[in-house]
Structure 1
Amino acid sequence: MGNLNRLAVVFIACISHFLLVQFGSQFLIPFGYASVIWPATGVALGLYLLKGWPVLVGVLLSFIVCLHSDTLISGLPPEVVYLLALISTIQLFISRQLVLQFSQVPIRISIPFEIIKFLFITGPVATLLSSVAIYCVLSLYLPLPQETLLYISVTKWVGDFLSVVLLTPIFLFLYPNIFVKKARKASAAIMTSLLSFSIICFVYFVSSNNFNRDKKQQFMSGTVSFVEQINSTQATIKLYLKALEAYFQASEQVTKEEFSAFTSIIQNTSIKVRAIGWIPLVKNEARAQFEASMQRLYSEGAYIQQLTATGIQSAPEQPYYLPIYYTYPLQENKSVIGLDVSTHPVASKSIKHAIAHQSFAVTDIFTLVQQQDKTDGVVVYYPIFKKSEVPSLASLIGFVEVVLELELLLDPMYTTERKSVFTYQISFGEGNVFSHPNYESGHFISHEVQFTLFDKQGTIQFSSSDSFASHLINWVDFIIVLIGCILGVICVMFVFFIVSFNTSLEKKVKASTHELIEKNNELELANEAKNLFLANVSHEYRTPLNAIIGFTELATKETSDLPTLDYLAKINDASNILLSTVNDVLDFSKMQAGQLDLDLKVFKPSDVTASVIGMLSHLASEKSITIQYQHDANYKSWVEGDELRFKQILINLLNNALKFTPKGSIHLDCKCVEINDNATELTIKVRDTGIGIKEEDQQRLFNAFAQAQSSTTRNYGGTGLGLSIVKQLCILMGGGISVTSQENVGSEFTVVLKLKGVTAEQVALQENSVESDAGQQGHHFQGMRVLVVEDNKINQIVVQKHLRNLGLDCDFANDGQQALEYLKAQQPDLILMDLQMPVMDGFTASAHIKNDEALKHISIVILSASVGKEEKQQAARLGIEDFIHKPYQQSDLVRVLNKYAS
């Protein structure tokens, strides 16, 4: 570290420490010297552990400046100030040495014991040593009770301890150092430390403020009665003077004996006054007569006197005099008889004020003539004027006075109970201050009260006594801070544990995630392979089924032999069952992959239902089962939905009913309700008299590959996918399916579907389309040329037979490449294109055709066993709209040919 860097560290350490000391000083305990909120120590130690000895220099300089500016400590000898600064600085050095000696650095924060040991060494141990040293120094130089000194030292220890434990680690997390191993996500621990320190400081601040406020309130309450007694005494003195006023106004001549007797009556013995006197106004022409009267009452040496700098002398001649004529008690105050107060250097001002305001007036504090060893006397004057005359000097009769010695007056009020709470100082007017001998300004708690002392505004300053100061010691707050500190450390350690645990957990999660991703990729590949396998199997099943169903349909039309027709019907039934199984497996695979979409068309539910019943009626006849079908009028309305999937739902439900009903009947009850213009709700109930389903088996009935009992497959056959597919189709159509069943009684399946409403225009268009198709069923499509691109020879024969029955001939191409060669020489009106073929597949060939300006006008219809979502999307990109799905019937060809016949 270069010299400039060291100087910079010294400067930064000094400034930061000085500012933090000023901050902590705002929260000093009532005795001063220490505070629990003292972040300076923790920050200084953190900087020292990071930057080394230059920090100690900066901290020492800051301590010296701060201690010299502290009004409490600045009164101590300079060597004591330097010693205190040195002790606090050495504390940082000791902390560092203890860590290096007793801890293994760098400290591993993931191990709780190492963290606790580090915090214990830097916190309680090192700070305790410095607190003990400061206690010893203060006890030698400060005249405070041992309990107070102990409280100050413990406060310093707790403040340093809290600061070091919660603030020092923050610096070790911020920058690389030899003491703490770098932690991941240390910001969480830093924020926890700062939050803990802030919460503890806030709780302590609130608690100590409440405690100090309560103590101050208690202190102020202890002064209230004292102030009230002073005001009460003042009111009593005013009553003395008012009573004397009435007495002198009521009598033209009051003798000395009468004055003494009346005064002794009105005087309250609990109020200690020095004297009560009568001061008549004596004009110069009546002086001799007045002095003669005085000599008769007192002695031959009595005369009107004047107080001068050299002592009491005979008053010089003047227009009028205000001599003290009567005083009670006489013996103690005889020396003031004849003293002219109108010329007194202190009393004369109050005399003039009393005459001018016709009210009470109190003098400044001065030395009484009768009490020369004390300077705490005041006199209260009250003027008496002639009745029925305007108050003025001309109508003035004289003054009554009360002489007060403040110590004598206030001591009875300052009881033992009050001495345990406060000392006091009274000030009024300018420069009039009376302090109790034990009064110490600003002694921990102070309080002042404004009051009126006769004609002057006064203030009573209260300061806490040594006895009351002992009640300011608040050990409860230390317990709160220590508990908070322990909780804060636990929180920080918990955060470290969580961070360490999270780091380890993140590694495990990352490894597990990577493994899961690999497994998921494998599963996705397996799922793709499964789907591809199912698609290929479906294609391979559909291709021969196309030949079987096609030849069956052709043979049915070409023979009239009844046994043969019966055989053909059975072949057709078996083929349809096999096709249904293949469809179920492929549909289930599509549902799992989320690839099953609805193909919306306008249709009549009643027509589809009648078609399904007709398709399955021969199966019902074989088992002597009757299918009873009823529906409401609305069921014949047009709706928009997927006709094929609706038909699939009905086939599955009726097939199930036929399969599990050995005898009896099947009831099909259908209703259609128009919810609004855009929605129609279909409700279809299929009730049978079959074997029924146990209640516990009904819960899993709609799960894939599930049947009521394990023996069901053996007895009745089936894949267990039918009802699962029905449920998914119902959900796709915005509805659902439910079942109620009783074993050996029968079952009832209820399907609810929400389909789109149909407008009048859509109905008219659909009816026209149906009529057009019906009108063209017998049309022979003369002159229309068709190219069939198909690699399977048997399927070529099937399609050729169907086309010939419709009056059409066709040409064949065995693959896409042969089709392109054919198109070079001829251009048909329609191409029926298979997809999976050798040499060139159907989509590649179609792409070539659509990209050829001379050929792109030729219509292409997909004729394939593979017509899924992806195939439809790819066809749409090529502009191909129509599909014939193998296996197909002649009516499917008619539908497409009608579209392109023109």
Structure 2
Amino acid sequence: MKQVLLVLTSFCIHFLLVKLGTSFTLPFGYVSIIWPASGVILGMYLLFGRSVLVGVILSSIFTMTQDTDFDSLPSYSIFIFSTISILQPVFSKFLITHFCALPININKPKKTLNFLLLTGPVASLASNLVFVACLWFIVDIDVTTLTYIGVVKWIGDTISVVFFTPIFLFLYKNKFVKKARHTLPSILTSVCCFLLVSFIFLLVTNDDYEDKKVSFVRTTQPFIEQFNITQAKIKHHLKSLDGLFQASTDVTRNDFYKFTNKISNTDTKIRGLAWLPYIHGDDRAKFESLLQKEMLTDIHIKKLTDKGLVVAPEQSLYIPIYFVEPLDINRAAIGLDISTHPIVSETVIKAINTKSYALSPLTSLAQQPTKRTSMIVYYPIYTTDLQAAEDFMGLVEVVFEINVLLSDIYNQYGVDEFTYKFNYEKDSIYSQNSQNDQNRHSLFTHSVDIDMFDKKAQLSFSSTPDFERSLINWGYLSIMVAGCIIGVICVMFVFFIVTFKSSLTRKVNEGTAELLNKNNELQAANEAKNLFLANISHEYRTPLNAIMGFTEIAKRETSDNVAKDYLSKIDNASNILLNIVNDVLDLSKMQAGEFTLESIAFKPSEVTKSVIEMLNKNANEKSITLTCEFCSSFDLWVNGDELRFKQIIINLINNAIKFTSSGGVKVWGECIDDSDDTRCLIVKVIDTGIGIKLEDQERLFTSFAQAESSTTRKYGGTGLGLSIVKQLCALMDGDIQLISEVGQGSEFIIRLKLGKSTPVDKQNVPAKNELDNQKIDFSNMNVLVVEDNKVNQMIVQKQLSSLGAKSDLAGDGQEALDYLADNMPDIILMDIQMPNMDGFTASHKIKHDSRLEHIPIVILSASVGKEDRDKASALGIFDFINKPFKQADLLRVLTKHAV
């Protein structure tokens, strides 16, 4: 039962693969270069034995009986070729068992190549020599084409074996190939290489076949054109004779001879030109006497019968042949009455009725009774142009032999490239091919319909073996061979790489596990570092808020100049420390991938001017100038993170002031429309400072780096500023460039791509200098401060008190709600992180209370990120004060919400 199942399985597989292969059969037939059946069957035979061969023979017989290439071959040829189909697997197995050390270790390239050569090229060559020899004896085929067919079959079988046989031997345990692990990549590579090589071959050969097909059609065009020209010449001859008989009613035989001798002296091969007068029955004797006077041999009007030509019986009318040229070869036709002709009489009647050309079927002539290749064109002649029935004089005719006419055209234009067939009626067919040629299957055929006088005709063309041999292209076969070699190299390379990889897997896994452990430790340490930096920078703000807050209060309340000087130094030191804390926090967020930008409309020129005003004091203290020069386009509005843009400008100008001891710092700005929705913002900060060495410029933008260690000692700084600037520029789809020369100063150029924006009417908040000059009475304003830190409570109350505002305190969100149950403040300053109830929870309850929702809430926190701003915006809160804060920050929000 198992053997029967193997036979059926191999039959089905072979049948399907043969059907697949025959879809790509060569134009010459019999073989295909894409023939996966050979490799698959060899693999199955090596695995499962002889039962596979039985299925292959049965499948071969079945498929060949359905193949049109074998229809014209003797029936025994099918059994011969079916037997040949199993020679290759049998011979391959013989070679493997006698010339290979089994099982083959495919990890060794030499043994693998030896196996592939024996089963592929060697075994395929032997079986294909037998195939070609049998084909030579059975089929009439030229040596060149036979050689090409043999080489194609050899290459096709070799490629199939090389790519597909190893796949089967990889899939199942067997005695021929040593089992290997991780063979799937090699199998997939093998299949992909085979498909790729086959696709390339099909692509180039199909293009070549289509080009040859077009070339064949073009080859027939001159023949068709000349055929139409010949038809036009025949019409011209008939029209010329019409003119002769209309010009004179007394045309003699000599006149006809001279005239026809002139018009027929062309390259058109015609049998004869004739005049056929219309004779009434009463005028028969007169006509026959004319024939007698001209001393013609036969002086009677004749009729064509089955027994040959006989004297025509008495009848009412006759249309006999009278004048005919050339006379010598057409003399037997004189006197023949065509009105009773068994073949052409209908054509004659049609010519008279339609008063135009009429073409007869293929017929034999009276002067050539055994040759049926002649065609006759009739044209009626009338005495006047009115062509009335009573004016009918007779007919003129042109006789030509289609075989002679077409052969003459063919000798001019189509020798050795095509054969032709002409037909225009059911039985009016002429073919150039012999009977053997007609049985031959041509690769190219082409047909064209033409109008031939009054008939619809067709010219059909078939390619000749000489033309078809031009399809043979040895270059394409070399492509397949090269592709096969490259494919084998790729498959072996992949296999050896995979094998090598498996041998390293254990070591790699051990190393990977160790690296993973180290990586986890490093990630944990990095996360701990980022968390520590974020937390410590956040925690720094609370004491800084106290230091900066009390310093500001003390500076305002003391009149001692020495104390004020000390307090100013404390204030400056606090600002420096705050900048460091901010930089560390920003850096930790960037490294953790948690840094995001906001997008709001702002005017670059206003932001830059505000920074210049803020830092102008620092420049004045060093006796250097701080100026700006903006293009008019710098006033255009953009969408982006205004705060971070401001941070970039602050860092660059601060750096320029820090490293410039004489001269000045200049800020230049421009805004260019980059596309329909973006603008390119260009800012240059130019100083006359110490300059930077070329070798130090690249690392200047690295975190914690400065030009040299002495710079840190002399000028101070952490080295974070420019690193943060560079990362901010990258986040804004831009970059930063440095141009510097030692002793000549530096020029920092930033380019940012920001979205376009239309001018926005920002809330009417007075600028800082306006606030300083304004005297607003806040005595009627009551402020609720929700803050859990006692020191911060004291600072806020003190700052509010100095502004004239009243304030009440709440230690957390719940205390704030309890306070609001009985009181109605004008504004609430809300911290975020508090015990019992945080600021957002309390704010949510306030904003959803119809009695309290109108009270403005200002977030007062040590850290307000984008997430916090989004939460606040969702609650309708848009004002924020970051700790540490100045009294000016309080003044700004109080002024905004003052009634």
User: Structure 1 residue 274 and structure 2 residue 214: aligned?
Assistant: no
Alpha-carbon spacing, 1:261–1:509, altered in 2? closer, same or farther (3 Å): same
Letter paired with 1:496: F
From 406, 409, 413, the counterpart of 2:409:
413
- 2:443 pairs with 1:464: no
* Secondary structure, counterpart of 1:380 in structure 2: strand
Please state whether the residue corresponding to 1:276 is helix, strand or coil.
strand
Q: Is residue 185–residue 499 contact of structure 1 (8 Å, CA) maintained in 2?
A: yes
Aligned equivalents of 1:726 and 1:331: distance in 2?
119
Matched, 1:241 2:241: no
Aligned to 1:6: 3
Distance 1:637 1:667 in 2: 17
The equivalences for 1:595-614 within 5 A come to 596=536, 598-599=538-539, 600-601=541-542, 603=545, 606=548
Instruction: Identify which of 279, 284, 288 aligns with 2:281.
Output: 284
Report the counterpart of residue 815 of structure 2 in structure 1.
Answer: none
The Cα offsets for residues 74-106 of structure 1, whole Å up to 9 and x where unpaired, read as 322233221111111121222223223333344
| Structure-1 residue corresponding to 2:506 | 507
Q: Amino acid of the residue matched to residue 60 of structure 1?
A: I
Deviations 1:803-826 (Å, cap 9, x if unpaired)? xxxxxxxxxxxxxxxxxxxxxxxx
Q: Note the C-alpha offset of 1:326.
A: 0.8
- Note the residue ranges of structure 1 that are not aligned, 5 or more in a row: 532-587, 614-620, 650-665, 714-721, 736-742, 744-756, 775-902
- Per the TM alignment, residue 499 of structure 1 is displaced from its structure 2 partner at its CA by 1.5
1:79 aligned residue (76, 81, 86): 76
Matches of 1:17 and 1:469, distance apart in 2:
30
Deviation at 1:400, TM superposition (A): 0.5
Q: 2:201·2:476 contact (CA, 8 Å) conserved in 1?
A: yes
| One-letter code aligned to 2:265 | N
1:335 to 308, 332, 337: 332
- The CA deviation at 1:770 is 4.3
Contact in 2 for aligned 1:645/1:729 (Cα 8 Å): no
Preserved contact between residue 124 and residue 154 of structure 2 (Cα < 8 Å) = yes
Correspondences of 1:564-583 after superposition (within 5 Å):
none
Please report the TM-score for the alignment, with normalisation by the length of structure 2: 0.63
The correspondence for 1:195, drawn from 187, 192, 195, is 192
Pair 470,184 (structure 1): closer, same or farther in 2 beyond 3 Å: same
> What's the CA shift for 1:380?
1.1
| Mapping of residues 718-737 of structure 1, within 5 Å | none
Equivalent in the alignment of 1:476: 475
> Which whole-Å CA distance do the structure 1 matches of 2:283 and 2:692 have between them?
140
Contact 2:533–2:584 (CA under 8 A) maintained in structure 1 = no
- Provide the secondary structure at the position in 2 that maps to 1:401: strand
Measured in 1, the distance between the counterparts of 2:355 and 2:797 equals 130
The one-letter amino acid of 1:598's match is H
Check 1:386–1:176 CA distance in 2 against 1; reply closer, same or farther (3 A cut): farther
Return the letter of the residue paired with 1:320. Answer: L
Paired AA for residue 354 in structure 1: A
Secondary structure in 1 aligned to 2:176? coil
Q: 2:218 aligns with which of 211, 221, 230?
A: 221
The equivalent residue for 2:14 is 17
Displacement after TM superposition at 1:462 (Å) = 1.4
Secondary structure of 1:430's aligned partner: coil
Helix, strand or coil at the partner of 2:409: coil
2:431 is the counterpart of 1:491: no
Partners of 1:648 and 1:297 lie apart in 2 by: 132
Give, in angstroms, the shift of residue 46 of structure 1: 2.6
Q: 2 CA distance for matches of 1:511 and 1:376?
A: 93
Contact 1:42 1:160 in 2 (8 A): yes
Q: 2:371 is aligned with what amino acid?
A: K
User: In the aligned structure 2, how far is the partner of 1:701 from the partner of 1:307?
Assistant: 115
Residue 605 of structure 2: aligned partner: none
The reply to whether residue 298 of structure 1 matches residue 295 of structure 2 is: yes
Residue segments in structure 2 that go unaligned for 5+ positions in a row: 556-561, 586-620, 627-640, 661-689, 730-741, 743-767, 769-780, 800-899
Between the two proteins, the alignment pairs up a number of residues equal to: 651
| Aligned 1:884-899 pairs, distance under 5 A | none
1:659-678, aligned counterparts within 5 Å? none
Partner Cα distance (2:297, 2:521) in 1: 138
**Mean alpha-carbon deviation: is it higher for 298-307 or for 355-364?**
298-307
Question: 8 Å contact 1:423–1:465 — kept in the other structure?
Answer: yes
1:638–1:763 contact (8 Å) kept in structure 2: no
Instruction: Find the counterpart in structure 2 of residue 378 from structure 1.
Output: 375
Task: Provide the residue aligned with 1:99 in structure 2.
Answer: 96
Equivalent residues of 2:11, 2:56 under 8 A apart:
yes
Question: 2:40 matched to which residue of 1?
Answer: 43
Task: Give the C-alpha shift of residue 767 in structure 1.
Answer: 6.8
Please say if residues 378 and 405 of structure 1, whose CA atoms lie closer than 8 Å, have aligned partners that are also in contact. Answer: yes
Write out per-residue CA displacement over residues 732-767 of structure 1, whole angstroms, 9 at most, x where no aligned residue. Answer: xx99xxxxxxx9xxxxxxxxxxxxx9xx96889677
1:344 and 2:284 correspond = no
Cα deviation for residue 477 of structure 1 reads 0.9
CA deviation map 1:529-565 (0-9, x unaligned): xx9xxxxxxxxxxxxxxxxxxxxxxxxxxxxxxxxxx
User: 2:447–2:458: 8 Å Cα contact kept in structure 1?
Assistant: yes
Offset, 1:679: 11
Q: 1:703 to 1:433 in 2, by over 3 A?
A: closer
Change (3 A) 1:176 1:289: same
Distance, in Å, in 2 between the alignment partners of 1:240 and 1:705 is 105
Deviation string 1:625-658 (CA, Å, 9 cap, x unpaired) is x9987589xx799999989979999xxxxxxxxx
Q: Report the CA distance shift for 1:198/1:371 in structure 2 as closer, same or farther (over 3 A).
A: same
CA contact (8 A) 2:546 2:795 kept: no
The letter for the 1-side match of 2:348 is I
For each residue in 1:245-302, what CA deviation from the matched residue of structure 2 results, as whole angstroms up to 9, or x when unmatched?
1111121121111111111111133222111111111111111111111221234641
Q: Secondary structure at the residue paired with 1:419? A: coil
Match of 1:121 in 2: 118
CA distance in 1, matches of 2:171, 2:127: 27
Identical aligned pairs, as a percentage?
36
Q: Determine helix, strand or coil for the equivalent of 1:403.
A: strand
> Which residue, 420, 438, 450 being the options, matches 1:424?
420
Give the 3 Å change call, closer, same or farther, for CA 639–708 of structure 1 in structure 2.
closer
Cα distance per residue 1:859-888 (max 9 Å; x no partner): xxxxxxxxxxxxxxxxxxxxxxxxxxxxxx
- Taking the aligned partners of 1:28 and 1:647, their CA distance within structure 2 comes to 74
The 3 A distance-change label for structure 1 pair 283 and 589 is closer
In 2, the alpha carbon distance for the partners of 1:483 and 1:247 equals 74
Local SS of the residue matching 2:68 = coil
What letter matches 1:453 in structure 2? Answer: M
Q: Which residue of 2 aligns with 1:168?
A: 165
With the length of structure 1 as denominator, give the TM-score of the two structures: 0.63
Matched residue, 2:393: 397
Do the aligned residues in 2 keep the contact of 1:590 with 1:596 (CA within 8 Å)?
no
Look up the match of 2:128.
Answer: 131
Output one character per residue of 1:830-862: Cα deviation in whole Å (capped at 9) or x when no partner. xxxxxxxxxxxxxxxxxxxxxxxxxxxxxxxxx
Matches of residues 448-463 of structure 1 in structure 2 within 5 Å? Answer: 448-463=447-462
Instruction: Say which SS state the counterpart of residue 298 (structure 1) adopts.
Output: coil
| 8 Å CA contact retained: 2:545, 2:792 | no
- Give 3-state SS (helix, strand or coil) of 2:461's partner: strand
Distance 1:631 1:328, change over 3 A: farther
Instruction: Output the amino acid matched with 2:460.
Output: Q
Is this contact kept in 1: 2:362–2:372, CA < 8 A?
yes
Larger Rg computed on CA atoms: 1
State how far apart, in whole Å, the 1-side matches of 2:428 and 2:249 are. Answer: 38
Report the CA distance shift for 1:475/1:701 in structure 2 as closer, same or farther (over 3 A): closer
Cα distance in 2 for partners of 1:54, 1:452 equals 62
> What's the CA shift for 1:677?
9.1
Decide whether the 8 Å contact of 1:276 with 1:327 is kept in 2. yes
CA deviation vs aligned residue, 1:594-635 (integer Å, no higher than 9, x gap): 87462253826645779999xxxxxxx9xxxx9987589xx7
Contact 1:604 1:637 in 2 (8 A): no
Partner SS for 2:446: strand
Instruction: Check whether the contact 1:603–1:643 (CA below 8 A) recurs between aligned residues.
Output: no
Structure 1 residue 524: deviation in Å? 10
